[in-house]
Amino acid sequence: MGRVALVTGGSRGIGEAISKKLKEDGYTVAATYAGNDEAAAKFTETTGIKTYKWNVADYESSKTGIAKVEEELGPIEVVVANAGITRDAPFHKMTPDQWKEVIDTNLTGVFNTIHPIWPGMRERKFGRVIVISSINGQKGQFAQVNYAATKAGDLGIIKSLAQEGARAGITANAVCPGYIATEMVMAVPEKVRESIISQIPAGRLGEPEEIARCVAFLASDDSGFVNGSTISANGAQFFV
Ligand code: CAA
């Protein structure tokens, strides 16, 4: 049995590709999902990867869910905080609820995911923390004040955790995907999406597997001195 890897939002979109890639690389993978039972069941049936249902926005649910994963599969050595949502609206139309939902899931959800796992990583003197941020956390985005704030916040989280975990053998890094061909990007109005693609020098959307391969590197033993870093995978759309 390989190392245990937890991927939040791991049954669909970029998370699905990450779960599959880590399994292929020999990890025992646990994928969480928030609500879509049907998609999760289909995912487990086709991949053999176990799924667990909890809301990352809720600390107690995360803690209980993580304890269950560790009881069933063993200590989590790799955690990929991937679960995220969008509630896009120009700022003058953004409601406090749209702000709160995105902060609770994308930012507090990252805290809730890593915090219960962190003490065990410190004790065992090994851990890989990987957070899926976004190009829009690096550059901002029209209609995404909420989302961009959370994705920029992710970068603050990993840079701080990197310093706290370095001596305990724990690394914390982020991947900033650009626009990837997932349901989330397909939900953007077609005209807007076409205009976005025209701004990507690669001339295309990225594939979820291209993000999964970045995560696989950060999870591996090869990346031990890479800590507090961000891998941008965006087809040359934006440079930090
Ligand atoms: N830059 C500048 N202006 C923009 C714009 C942009 N990127 N997008 C829209 N606008 C303008 C429109 O041209 C329009 O202008 P006019 O009023 O002069 O015609 C105006 O903003 C739209 O205003 P509306 O009041 O009609 O907007 P709306 O309330 O209907 O909202 C929207 C529309 C939610 C902004 C919609 O355009 C949208 O979803 N945009 C995409 C936002 C986006 O890129 N989200 C990223 C999702 S993918 C993701 O998040 C994954 C990742 O990490 C990369």
pLDDT tens, position by position, for the chain (240 residues)? 799 999 999 999 999 999 999 999 999 999 999 998 999 999 999 999 999 999 999 999 999 999 999 999 999 999 999 999 999 999 999 999 999 999 999 999 999 999 999 999 999 999 999 999 999 999 999 999 999 999 999 999 999 999 999 999 999 999 999 999 999 899 999 999 999 999 999 999 999 999 999 999 999 999 999 999 999 999 999 998
Number of separate domains in the chain? 1
Give the amino acid at 44: T
Q: Hey, is 76 helix, strand or coil?
A: strand
Q: Establish how many alpha carbons lie within 13 A of residue 144's alpha carbon, considering only the half-sphere containing its beta carbon.
A: 19
In a domain, residue 236? The reply is no
- Rounded to an integer, what distance in angstroms lies between the CA atom of residue 177 and that of residue 51? 24
Residue located nearest, by CA, to atom 1 of ligand 1: 142
Burial class, 220, CB count within 10 angstroms (exposed 0-12 / middle 13-18 / buried 19+): middle
Residue located nearest, by CA, to atom 22 of ligand 1: 90
In a domain, residue 237? The reply is no
Q: Give this prediction's pTM.
A: 0.96
For ligand 1, residues with CB inside 6 Å are 86, 88-90, 93, 134-136, 141-144, 147, 179, 184-185, 188-189, 192
* d(CA 97, ligand 1 centre) in Å: 19
Q: What per-residue confidence (pLDDT) applies to 240?
A: 86
Sign of torsion over alpha carbons 141, 131, 179, 105? negative
Contacts of 109 (CB under 8 A, 6+ apart): 8, 56, 57, 62, 81, 83, 84
Q: What per-residue confidence (pLDDT) applies to 156?
A: 98
Give the amino acid at 185: V
Catalytic residue among 27, 33, 52, 147: 147
In a domain, residue 77? The reply is yes
Among 86, 188, 205, name the best residue to mutate to test ligand 1's pocket (greatest count of ligand atoms within 8 A of Cβ): 188
Residue located nearest, by CA, to atom 23 of ligand 1: 90
Q: What per-residue confidence (pLDDT) applies to 112?
A: 98
- Rounded to an integer, what distance in angstroms lies between the CA atom of residue 164 and that of residue 120? 14
Name the residue among 3, 35, 7 with its Cα closest to residue 132.
7
In a domain, residue 109? The reply is yes
Looking up residue 207, the CATH number of its domain turns out to be 3.40.50.720
Question: CA angle at residue 22 from 169 to 218, to 5 degrees?
Answer: 40
* d(CA 91, ligand 1 centre) in Å: 10
Residue located nearest, by CA, to atom 41 of ligand 1: 188
Q: Which domain holds residue 175?
A: 4-227
Is 147 labeled as catalytic in the residue annotation?
yes
* d(CA 191, ligand 1 centre) in Å: 10
**CA 186 from centroid of its chain's CA atoms:** 18
* d(CA 213, ligand 1 centre) in Å: 30
Q: What per-residue confidence (pLDDT) applies to 218?
A: 98
Q: What per-residue confidence (pLDDT) applies to 219?
A: 98
In a domain, residue 171? The reply is yes
* d(CA 141, ligand 1 centre) in Å: 9
Among 94, 142, 150, 200, name the best residue to mutate to test ligand 1's pocket (greatest count of ligand atoms within 8 A of Cβ): 142
Q: What per-residue confidence (pLDDT) applies to 9?
A: 97
In a domain, residue 239? The reply is no
Q: Establish how many alpha carbons lie within 13 A of residue 158's alpha carbon, considering only the half-sphere containing its beta carbon.
A: 28
- Rounded to an integer, what distance in angstroms lies between the CA atom of residue 120 and that of residue 94? 39
